Structure 1
Amino acid sequence: MARAFAKIAFTDNVKQLQSEMGSRETYQVFDQGDTNDMCIDKRTEQFIKQRDSFYIATSNDDGWPYIQHRGGPKGFLKVLSDKQIGFADFRGNRQYLTVGNIQGNNKVCLFLMDYAQTRRLKIWGHAEVIQETEYAGLMAQLELADFRAPVERGIVITIDAMDWNCPKYITPRYTPDELEQFLVDN
């Protein structure tokens, strides 16, 4: 994971700033290793399956970044293989910013947060917008039987890199279920 993540995130400008600020030596280790090591392991799969939301970053044709929150029931972000994830794209405010951006530049970055346990996973990949008319079998894997939001399309992400990020400064937040469990345990 480290090598693939560093190859994407540690651009020449980033490395220069790391050198200036004294952290380059620490992060050089991330530059070494296999770039084909971004497979989803069991721990990562369980983490993904427990999420009921995530943030997805795209950029438009002019290079402007855009971040959108996506939510649904736990497990709406599906692990399709050890290198692919996907989700049903529910009808929203109908601005189509994320989908439109993907059509012009399919590079995406996802932040998956576990506020209660102060954990986060960053995922870089290439997204593909799929329609039920062309990919009925794949869409069937993404749909949720008990969720009533209209599905407009699917989005499948082929993973290029992942990184478990530092928990520093993640403010713990709890869903009602997590809060209830926390109170029972403490």
Structure 2
Amino acid sequence: MHLDAVPSAVSPSDVLSGYRTPGGLVLDKVIDRLDRHCREFIAHSPFATLATADAEGWPDISPRGGDPGFVHVLDEHRLALPDRPGNNRVDSLKNVAANPRAALMFLVPGVEQTLRVYGTTTLVRPEDLDVDLTEFGRAPLSVLVLDVQRAYFQCPKSVMRSGLWDPARQIDPKTLTPFGRVLKDHCALDSDLPDDATIRADLAHEL
């Protein structure tokens, strides 16, 4: 179906009316702090996604990773997310400079629940915090401090459906087009890029 063929007669409220009212447990699980269960989960998480939006409301989502606990819990109401060397687009950081609202979703390998944390942010320098944020032998370039306003655990249905942690459902990376070819095509380059093993080895030096 083409986008211009999408039905427009049904209003969003009509669509939403087809969903049942959420139960009390679903609503009551939202808390305004990082309790011991949240802190335990974050301490085991090596991967999170950071959601931000610019001043006009355009959204962005960025993967973030490190050793388990790479996002530091400063106290019940504050998280510190170090910013490591990347592609220097700094889309997320530009967004929070204009719109401080942000959200993090934490994943723990092998665990089907996820943790969602919402709040407002402040961008600071590493030396502004009395915390050792050294990882992979270097300090972060900056730190995003999230003042927590909401936190809750997401039910595992989506991860269960995806089989995300099921080794039998992992694919051989060779099934996909080599990343160097993808970049060549997307950037309309005339010359070939190095093979994926070389690209990965180069990136490993920048962790």
Same fold (TM over 0.5): yes
Q: Give % identity.
A: 19
CA distance in 2, matches of 1:132, 1:32: 36
CA distance in 2, matches of 1:32, 1:166: 14
Structure 2 matches for 1:90-105, cutoff 5 A?
90-105=84-99
Q: Are the counterparts in 2 of residues 115 and 174 from structure 1 also a CA contact under 8 Å?
A: no
Structure 2 matches for 1:1-186, cutoff 5 A?
16=13, 20-24=17-21, 26-27=22-23, 37-132=31-126, 135=128, 138=129, 140-141=130-131, 143-144=133-134, 146-170=135-159, 171-173=163-165
Say if 1:17 and 1:112 are closer, same or farther in 2 by CA, change over 3 A.
farther
Letter in 1 for 2:156: P
C-alpha RMSD of matched pairs (Å): 2.8
Say if 1:114 and 1:29 are closer, same or farther in 2 by CA, change over 3 A.
closer
| Structure 1: gaps of 5 or more residues | 1-12, 176-186
- For the pair shown, the structure with the greater C-alpha radius of gyration is 2
Q: How many equivalent residue pairs?
A: 154
| Structure 2: gaps of 5 or more residues | 1-10, 168-207
Deviations 1:28-83 (A, max 9, x none): 776679x8x42211111110011111000001122110000011111110010011
CA distance in 2, matches of 1:17, 1:85: 38
1:17 Cα shift?
6.0
1:115 Cα shift?
4.1
Q: Are the counterparts in 2 of residues 91 and 149 from structure 1 also a CA contact under 8 Å?
A: no
Deviates most, 147-156 or 56-65? 147-156
Say if 1:172 and 1:83 are closer, same or farther in 2 by CA, change over 3 A.
same
Q: Which has the higher strand share?
A: 1
Q: Which has the higher contact order (CA 8 A, sep 6+)?
A: 1
